[in-house]
């Protein structure tokens, strides 16, 4: 019997949705959504870089019919997101700028965006940072900085959103597979992402009386600008990804749109993995086919 290994074709698991080419289906028509972290970090590659999770979520939410407030710390980056939404000819969007280190800016942001939207039905918190420091290099300052952005800001944003959000609304916190796997030697990031999963459950409890849902989304290894930064520091990070490829920002965005939509009306206080099965042990075991 021939047990020679077969090859993996990464394109077997890629579809129009994976690449952001599928048309909208009206899944968020009439919904008013704030996406915090809707910009995209610059990368050395320049032109042709893959879409980040936040930009993909904002663009897809608009394509699905939502009125979207796109928020980021970078005015240039968030304006690019809004311009791409306008160029696509689908959906409405505007840009706002805030630094989530600041509680005062968070309070003002949520009030002003909700006012411009005419209400609030959905909130996506995609903002996050990583200093990439192993345990022996952590400092109180670096730890506090990551937790201020990755966890404290999420609490403050949810706290501000709950009184403003319409009944039946939805909140999505962008956590990470790192919340469940502590293998990247990045304790502050891993711990803050695990905290987001717990916070999502707490927010779900707080929002229950208004039927406001809150869930955490846990991407695995995704080919985004942030993912490419991580790969530069750890070149073998994606050596065993399922299907012979990393995920795309669009694949994360579709999972987020599901959680925002009424399709997920009874999905609450959960942690949804978007990792190809990597977190439970699905891994590449055969070589890639030639491309």
The number of folded domains in the chain is 1
User: Does the residue 61 lie in any domain?
Assistant: yes
Active site residues: 189
User: Does the residue 100 lie in any domain?
Assistant: yes
Q: Look-up: residue for tokens 């009874």?
A: 266
> What gap in Å lies between CA 69 and CA 34, rounded to an integer?
5
pLDDT (tens digit, 0 to 9) for every residue of the chain, 291 residues total?
Answer: 444 445 678 889 999 999 999 999 999 999 999 999 999 987 766 667 899 999 999 999 999 999 999 999 999 999 999 999 999 988 899 999 999 999 999 999 999 999 999 999 999 999 999 999 999 999 999 999 999 999 999 999 999 999 999 999 999 999 999 999 988 899 999 999 999 999 999 999 999 999 999 999 999 999 987 767 666 666 676 678 999 899 999 999 999 999 999 999 999 999 999 999 999 989 876 554 444
Contact (Cβ atoms closer than 8 angstroms) between residue 204 and residue 173: no
* Tokens at 188, concatenated: 């502050």
User: Does the residue 229 lie in any domain?
Assistant: yes
User: Does the residue 16 lie in any domain?
Assistant: no
User: Does the residue 5 lie in any domain?
Assistant: no
Cα dist from 28 to 57, 62, 69, 197, 218, whole Å = 12, 8, 14, 24, 22
**Which DSSP letter does residue 254 get?**
H
Give me the domain span that covers residue 260: 27-280
Q: Which CATH number covers residue 74?
A: 3.40.50.720
pTM of the model: 0.92
User: Does the residue 145 lie in any domain?
Assistant: yes
User: Does the residue 10 lie in any domain?
Assistant: no
User: Does the residue 77 lie in any domain?
Assistant: yes
Half-sphere exposure at residue 71, Cβ-oriented, CA atoms within 13 angstroms = 25
For CA atoms 19, 92, 37, 215, give the dihedral sign.
Answer: negative
> What gap in Å lies between CA 272 and CA 205, rounded to an integer?
18
Query: Strand pairing partners for 229?
Result: none
Work out the burial of residue 52: count CB atoms within 10 Å of its CB; fewer than 13 is exposed, 13-18 middle, 19 or more buried: buried
């Amino acid at each position: 019997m021939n047990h020679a290994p077969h090859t993996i074709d990464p394109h077997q698991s890629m579809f129009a949705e994976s690449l952001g080419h599928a048309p909208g289906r009206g899944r968020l028509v009439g919904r008013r959504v704030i996406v915090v972290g809707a910009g995209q970090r610059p990368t050395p590659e320049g032109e042709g870089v893959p879409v980040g999770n936040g930009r993909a979520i904002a663009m897809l939410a608009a394509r699905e019919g939502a009125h979207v407030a796109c928020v980021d710390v970078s005015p240039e980056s968030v304006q690019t997101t809004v311009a791409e939404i306008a160029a696509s000819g689908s959906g409405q969007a505007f840009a706002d700028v805030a630094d989530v280190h600041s509680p005062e800016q968070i309070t003002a942001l949520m009030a002003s965006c909700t006012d411009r939207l005419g209400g609030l039905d959905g909130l996506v918190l995609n903002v996050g940072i990583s200093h990439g420091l192993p345990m022996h290099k952590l400092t109180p300052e670096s730890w506090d900085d990551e937790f201020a952005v990755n966890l404290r800001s999420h609490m403050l944003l949810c706290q501000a959103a709950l009184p403003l959000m319409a009944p039946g609304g939805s909140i999505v916190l962008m956590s990470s597979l790192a919340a469940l796997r502590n293998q990247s030697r990045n304790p502050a990031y891993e711990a803050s992402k695990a905290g987001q999963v717990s916070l999502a459950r707490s927010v779900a409890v707080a929002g229950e009386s208004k039927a406001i849902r809150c869930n955490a989304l846990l991407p695995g290894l995704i080919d985004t600008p942030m993912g490419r930064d991580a790969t530069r520091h750890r070149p073998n990070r994606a050596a065993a990804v399922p299907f012979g490829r990393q995920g795309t920002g669009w694949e994360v965005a579709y999972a987020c749109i599901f959680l925002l939509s009424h399709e997920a009306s009874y999905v609450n206080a959960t942690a949804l993995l978007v990792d190809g099965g990597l977190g439970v042990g699905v891994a590449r075991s055969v070589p890639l086919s030639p491309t």
